Amino acid sequence: MDLSIGEVARRSGLSVHALRFYEREGLFANPVRRLSNGRRIYHEEDLEWLAICTKLRSSGMSLATIRQYIDLVRQGPGNEHERLELLRRHESHVETQIRELQETLDVMRNKVRIYEDHVARGEADRLWNPSHPDTAQAETRQECHPPEGA
């Protein structure tokens, strides 16, 4: 079934502009086909690839690396080990991002706990205040050294 660029945009969640960008950058697994009047036509497999491609992008894979991967795919059988190595490297990158985000989440949860405690005790004025340096030090101390069981 042929799909218009508008239909692909709607179903993929990407804008028409983004789809044109992906095409210009050579990020489609198959070349985008065109009708005699120049209108782009897509197929279901293009949507499937876009779903993978957008996950690769949102996970931090560079356009150059996606292009490298898609070039390997287009070459066909025989380079599966190269594709696997590329995907493993990116998997490692994503795992590192997740660890870093988990550390950030831990800091944010601790900060929320500090604010909740201060607000509940009616001591919100003791929270970080640039005009009172001791409040900044106290809050930082609590963030770096949370109480036992926090």
How many Å apart are CA 64 and CA 58, to the nearest integer? 14
Q: What is the pLDDT of residue 137?
A: 55
Q: Is residue 49 part of a domain?
A: yes
Distance in angstroms (rounded) separating the CA atoms of residues 4 and 40: 7
Q: Is residue 86 one of the residues assigned to a domain?
A: no
State the total domains in the chain.
Answer: 2
Task: Enumerate residues 6+ apart whose C-beta is below 8 A from 128.
Answer: 135, 136, 139, 140
Asked if pLDDT for residue 32 goes beyond 70, the answer is yes
Residue 85 inside a domain? The answer is no
Q: What's 63's domain CATH number?
A: 1.10.1660.10
The answer as to whether 91 is a domain residue is no
Tell me the C-alpha distance between 44 and 77, whole Å: 22
The DSSP element (H or E) to which 73 belongs, if any, is helix 63-75
Residues 6+ apart with CB under 8 A from 48: none
Do residues 116 and 47 share a domain? Answer: no
User: Do 60 and 105 fall within a single domain?
Assistant: no
96-140: pLDDT as tens digits: 999 999 999 999 999 999 889 989 988 888 787 666 655 555 555
Which residues on neighbouring strands pair with residue 42, listed in sequence order? 3
Does position 4 have pLDDT exceeding 60, yes or no? yes
pLDDT band with cut points at 50, 70 and 90 for residue 86 = very high
Is 101 in the same domain as 55? no
pLDDT given at position 123: 83
Does this model's pTM top 0.75? My answer is no
Q: Which domain holds residue 24?
A: 1-76
d(CA 98, CA 105) in angstroms, rounded, equals 10
Residue 150 has pLDDT above 50, yes or no: no
Residue 44 CA to residue 35 CA, distance in Å, equals 17
% of the chain beyond a pLDDT of 90: 72
Mean pLDDT, rounded, for 48-62: 94
